[in-house]
Amino acid sequence: MTSPSSSSPPAAAATAPPVLEARSVFRFRTVDGHDVPIVRDVSFVLGRGEFATIMGPSGSGKSTLLHLLAGLERPSAGAVLVDGEDLGAGDEEQRAAVRRRRIGFVFQFFHLLPDLTVEENVTLPLRILGQNPNKHRGRIDSLLDLLGVQKLKQRLPSALSGGEMQRVSIARALSTQPPLVLADEPTGNLSSKAGEEVVALLRSVREKLGTTILLVTHNPRDAAAGDRVMFLHDGVLRPDSELRGGPFGVADVFARLQELGI
Ligand SMILES: Nc1ncnc2c1ncn2[C@@H]1O[C@H](COP(=O)(O)OP(=O)(O)OP(=O)(O)O)[C@@H](O)[C@H]1O
Ligand SMILES: [Mg+2]
């Protein structure tokens, strides 16, 4: 006889909150004495292991939105929840704690520390959490292998190509095993070949580690790599504009941009 619990999913899985939820998020900025909306009523939910992209032209509010989702800025209205925790509920120190434990960030300009080796850069977030990197050596080595930078670990950033620097910064973003990685134009400073490699690596990170990844870009080719592609225009993310079931061809993204008049 089977026990009742064997036929139903574990309670924790059934009730696990989404990794990222934006609830009617607004952000205003004061420009020439007027309050201007930069992000307007953005709502969406990302589940565990999703690879989503947000495509938008320059100035559409992508970086502002990503900063709100990371808790680097506070919404003027609305809420952001990471793993069910409301980033607006606490003070700056509590938001920073959520960021350090749950969110990895990948930037367009890498932001590696120039005086630290690749390995020291990658393990820095662990040290900031007060953890001894030596206790994570096997896992960090696997991460360096996954990103193809194992042989570079004693080098300084100045001795790396742009593509290598970005792969190192992805390893750094993953060193604390966050459920969520946010990437702001991660290919914006790379050749198109190195950019394609970086996006392919982000997809394989999702496959191998199950990390939820949100990438924002103005590049239709990068956007096409998402399982879901959302479109941001003048700070508005229209739910009916989303493509689902990717990865897509770049022509699919262009076609949707044309339909939306972006
Ligand atoms: N500190 C600020 N004060 C006033 N306006 C700002 C500020 N930061 C950004 N903006 C404006 O907000 C809008 C959105 O900026 P944001 O940087 O989020 O756009 P983006 O989509 O990331 O652009 P890009 O593709 O060029 O990186 C722009 O019109 C920008 O001029
Ligand atoms: Mg930007």
- H or E element at residue 126: helix 118-128
Structure confidence at residue 5 (pLDDT)? 43
Which residue CA neighbors atom 7 of ligand 1 most closely?
29
Structure confidence at residue 57 (pLDDT)? 94
Q: What phi, psi does 52 have (nearest 5°)?
A: -120, 150
Measure the CA–CA gap between 245 and 103, rounded to whole angstroms.
25
What confidence category does residue 70 fall into, taking pLDDT thresholds of 50, 70 and 90? very high
Q: Are 181 and 174 in contact (CB under 8 A)?
A: yes
In the chain, where the domains are located = 17-260
What confidence category does residue 11 fall into, taking pLDDT thresholds of 50, 70 and 90? low
Q: Is 64 in the pocket of ligand 1 (CB under 6 A)?
A: yes
Mean pLDDT for the stretch of residues 247-255: 97
Q: Is 61 in the pocket of ligand 1 (CB under 6 A)?
A: yes
Which residue CA neighbors atom 9 of ligand 1 most closely?
64
Mutate which of 26, 29, 67 for ligand 1? The one with the most ligand atoms within 8 Å of its CB, which is: 29
Measure the CA–CA gap between 55 and 221, rounded to whole angstroms.
10
Q: Is 182 in the pocket of ligand 1 (CB under 6 A)?
A: no
The packing angle between helices 162-174 and 137-146, to 10°, is: 140
Supply the mean pLDDT for the chain. Answer: 93
Q: Is the pLDDT at 185 greater than 50, yes or no?
A: yes
Q: Is the pLDDT at 12 greater than 60, yes or no?
A: no
Mean pLDDT for the stretch of residues 172-197: 96
Residues with CB under 5 A from ligand 2 (ion): 62-63
Q: Which ligand is nearest to the CA of 65?
A: 1
* Whole-number Cα distances in Å, 112 to 28, 49, 165, 169, 198: 31, 26, 8, 7, 16
* pLDDT (tens digit per residue) in 33-68: 999 999 999 999 999 999 999 999 999 999 999 999
* pLDDT (tens digit per residue) in 198-218: 999 999 999 999 999 999 999
pTM tops 0.95, yes or no: no
Which residue CA neighbors atom 31 of ligand 1 most closely?
59
User: In this structure, which topology does domain 17-260 adopt according to CATH?
Assistant: Rossmann fold (3.40.50)
Mutate which of 35, 38, 182 for ligand 1? The one with the most ligand atoms within 8 Å of its CB, which is: 38
Q: Is the pLDDT at 10 greater than 70, yes or no?
A: no
